[in-house]
């Protein structure tokens, strides 16, 4: 008899992975692995600080990108208060207010850009 028909040979010889399944598996594994927080240079940090201050003083709407282990989170709104000692800010959004830790911010842009 053929080896394929003995014991577990039928299933052993039929193992195959479709390209779609392989891609989905790779994406799934990437999502499971935590990312590292990007480091910001001084010029980028200064630009973000300027945009946050202008949002608070002039009422400009900004989009803030926060670091998360699996995917970035974006909030759009106006900065109400900057608390430097606590390193937090209060953002006024359409759905209400939200306190944001400044050390999690990775990017700030004007909302209309």
Higher pLDDT, 98 or 9: 98
Span 27-51, average pLDDT: 87
**Residue 41: alpha-carbon gap to chain centroid:** 19
Residue 94 lies in a domain: yes
Q: What is the token pair recorded at 107?
A: 């990017």
Phi first, then psi, for residue 65 (nearest 5°) are: -105, 125
Residue 66 lies in a domain: yes
Q: How confident is the model at residue 32 (pLDDT cuts 50, 70, 90)?
A: confident
How many domains does the structure of the chain reveal? 1
Residue 13 lies in a domain: no
- pLDDT per position as a tens digit, 66-95: 998 878 899 999 999 998 888 999 999 999
Determine whether 71 is exposed, middle or buried from the number of CB atoms within 10 Å of its CB (0-12, 13-18, 19+). exposed
Residue 91 lies in a domain: yes
Residue 4 lies in a domain: no
Higher pLDDT, 13 or 25: 25
CA distance 76 to 109: 9
Domain hosting 93: range is: 61-110
Reported pTM: 0.69
């Amino acid at each position: 008899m053929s080896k394929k028909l003995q014991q577990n040979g039928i299933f052993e010889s039929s193992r195959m992975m479709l390209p779609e399944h392989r891609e989905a598996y790779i994406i799934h594994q990437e999502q499971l692995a935590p990312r590292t927080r990007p480091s910001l240079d001084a010029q980028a940090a200064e630009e973000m600080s300027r945009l946050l201050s202008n949002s608070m003083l002039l009422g400009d709407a900004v989009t803030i990108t926060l670091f998360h282990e699996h995917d970035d989170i974006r909030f759009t709104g106006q900065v109400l208060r900057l608390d430097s000692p606590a390193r937090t800010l209060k953002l006024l959004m359409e759905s209400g207010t939200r306190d944001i830790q400044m050390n999690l911010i990775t990017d700030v842009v004007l909302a209309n850009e």
